[in-house]
Amino acid sequence: MNKNIKLAIWSALVTLVLIALPSIIHYAPQLVGKSFTDQEDFTYRMEQEYDNLSATVLNPVDLKKTEKELTVSLDEITEYRQRYGTLSEQLDNIQQQYAERIADAKLEENETVLLALVKERNTKLGDIQQNFESDSYVEDKIRSEKAKALARQIKETENNRQTNIPIAYDLVNVETGERFTRGDVEVTALFQQEFTEATGYFKANSAVYDNGYSDYSMEQGSMYTDDDVEGISNPPQYFEGTIIIPSDATILGAMAKENDQFIRGKYMVYGLWVLGVLALVALFTVMKFQKEWILQSRLATTYSRWKLDVKVVLLLLTAFILTLYIESAIFNIFNQFRYVSLGTISNMAVSFLLIGVLFTALLAFQAVHLFRLYREPERLMKDWRDSYTVQFAQDSRDTFSNRTVGVQLSLLLIIFFLAGLGLAGVFMQPVLIVVYAFCVLFVALPALFLFVKKTAYLNRILAATNDMAAGHLTQAIPVKGKSQLAKHAANLNNLREGVRVSINEQAKSERLKTELITNVSHDLRTPLTSIITYTDLLKDETLSAEERAKYVGILDQKSQRLKTLIEDLFEVSKMASGNLEMVKQRVDLNQLIQQALAEHAEQFTEQDLHVRTTLPEEPVFAMVDGQKWWRVLDNLFINILKYSLPGTRVYVNLQQVGSTARIVLKNVARYELGDTTDELFERFKRGDASRQTEGSGLGLAIAQSIVELHGGRMEVEVDGDLFKVTIDVVSG
């Protein structure tokens, strides 16, 4: 058998089970062991029959008696009299109504019509005049109108007593003893109800009529409403006796047809229940569901390409439609079976096939595919990311993020305005609730969420801005997303960082300026003082040649130191201003390092420093100014000689790292360096804070400037007492 046919049969069985089994719960209490007279509809109709019997036979309103009891209040008289204005206004109105017609009759010299019109006008004028002169006259007119209206209502009540329930009764008024009978209550009864003191008397309420105030007076054109009057009715009367429906009512007459319809419908529902049970058994035996019916269908490939949210929406829509159909079928199946005909059978079959079977098959098809997808979390997440919902959310976010704040607020206001209009439309047309709910869920609520989120973010930005304005520059503003607010937050962070760096640099510059003046003064004054002192000593003519030579040597040493200091100052000044001239050429850094080491070899030995080199065998070339690069190495080796701990090792390393030549120098410091390496590059900064070593304090600063002028990079690292310098420069 074809898998599509199998799926259709399975869907038909499932639909049959979904209709039949729940209908057992719904119909069993009112059908099993019940007859036509046990139904709620019959009970309701009997209550109407009792009401009609009470109002028209057992406790009717006596029209003649009631007419004498009709009352007219002073307010009713006043309202009737002044309904169309004052006396003068009403008389003038009647005069105007007849003036033209009387004038025409005079022109036509029609004496008969003229006399009739004048008489009719005078009658109405007299009637109006009497209305304002006599209360009793108006009272009689109102009472007459009420009596006519009451008579009409009683007549309508009697006409409405017609019914297709052929009841028979024998009832006796418990107070007056008056007896009312109809038919024979001793025959076999289809329905019978006894009214006794023990079971409860039959309470006959009379009909309640308005006080005749719904009448329309042709003479005055008056209209009275039910709200203006009190009801007219008799006190309730109580009866004992019997009311029956003869059993032959189910054989002849309209009730016989209704009883036959009930019996037919009941047994057809029983048959439906049997079919439902058989269908359930078949579903667990010969027609077990197989996933291959769906997975191997031609629609599976097409369906797999659909977006995840489209699949979910279609699944929910299919389930919703199927649920509505099942619910409707359950609640209507009994009536359809009662009034079964060729037309109803064909309609039931068409709806069963097109809605029940088709939507059951669709629901199974979609559920199987989504269940398979649920068992593959990675694919599920991928499909979710590719869904229209996620894309819409991203597009909505981008729509707001890539617009100015003014445009975003305008869009939000438009959305909220339309949401308000939609709510008003739902109140006027409730059928629009589905469309409105969809718009609220997928447009208004996301817009509200974005509005609240952006408002909160804006408030955080404003609070952070206030902190910045107060001088608190430590807390950065969080940057979230790519919106204009996020860009503004990033700009504020850049501004904050710039201000903070500027303040730190300004403080550092002030500190360096103070240290520069102090250090320059100290470093210049020390050799200058020695020169002045020894110059004064040389003026002594009693000095021996040996002492004079000694003093001259000291003067030469101090002069050379002063010269070196001044030259370093000039060189640093040139480097800072960019006026330093360089002659670049291809230099072998390997050979240059070896020459510098050889130059200071004797000093390393004197300082008890053991140099360990790791140099490549082949040359390492770089385009540098050889003289300036020699100055870099010389300053670094002098720095090592001055500040290394005697008896330790000094490591010199050169290596080729890609297109970069890297020089690494490491030594153990004699003095405690601290944690801040940036200060070692500051001018006049020495490793010994007491400034007891020789030198200008500009060695590292000059070396770093030269390296940077060559496009290289020089870094200093301190790990405890280990001092490490790394220089990178482009090789070639």
172 strand-pairing partners:
179, 240
pTM, rounded to two decimals: 0.48
Most confident by average pLDDT, 155-164, 313-322, 409-418, 520-529: 313-322
CA-CA distance, 359 to 269, in Å (whole number)? 23
pLDDT digits (tens, 9 = 90+) for 327-356: 999 988 888 888 887 777 887 888 888 888
Q: What confidence tier does 222 reach under pLDDT thresholds 50, 70, 90?
A: very low
CA-CA distance, 702 to 627, in Å (whole number)? 13
For 400, residues 6+ apart whose C-beta sits below 8 A from its C-beta are: 408, 411, 450, 454, 483
Distance of alpha carbon 48 from its chain centroid, rounded? 53
525-532: long-range pairs with CB below 8 Å, 24+: 527/558, 527/559, 527/561, 527/562, 527/565, 528/558, 528/562, 530/554, 530/555, 530/558, 531/555, 531/558, 531/559, 531/562
Tokens found for residue 535 = 């110059």
Fold of 582-730: Heat Shock Protein 90 (3.30.565)
pLDDT of 512 strictly over 60:
no
Distance of alpha carbon 573 from its chain centroid, rounded? 64
For 511, residues 6+ apart whose C-beta sits below 8 A from its C-beta are: none
pLDDT digits (tens, 9 = 90+) for 387-417: 777 776 666 665 555 556 666 667 777 777 7
pLDDT of 180 strictly over 50:
yes
pLDDT of 134 strictly over 50:
yes
Task: For the chain, give every domain's residue range.
Answer: 3-34+256-385, 36-252, 388-469, 582-730
Lowest mean pLDDT among 54-68, 535-549, 558-572: 558-572
Q: Where are the beta strands (DSSP E) in 497-546?
A: none
Q: Exposed, middle or buried by CB within 10 Å (0-12, 13-18, 19+), for 199?
A: exposed
Tokens found for residue 241 = 């006796």
pLDDT digits (tens, 9 = 90+) for 560-594: 777 777 776 676 666 666 666 778 899 999 999 99
- The terminus-to-terminus CA distance of the chain in angstroms comes to 82
Tell me what pLDDT residue 608 has. 92
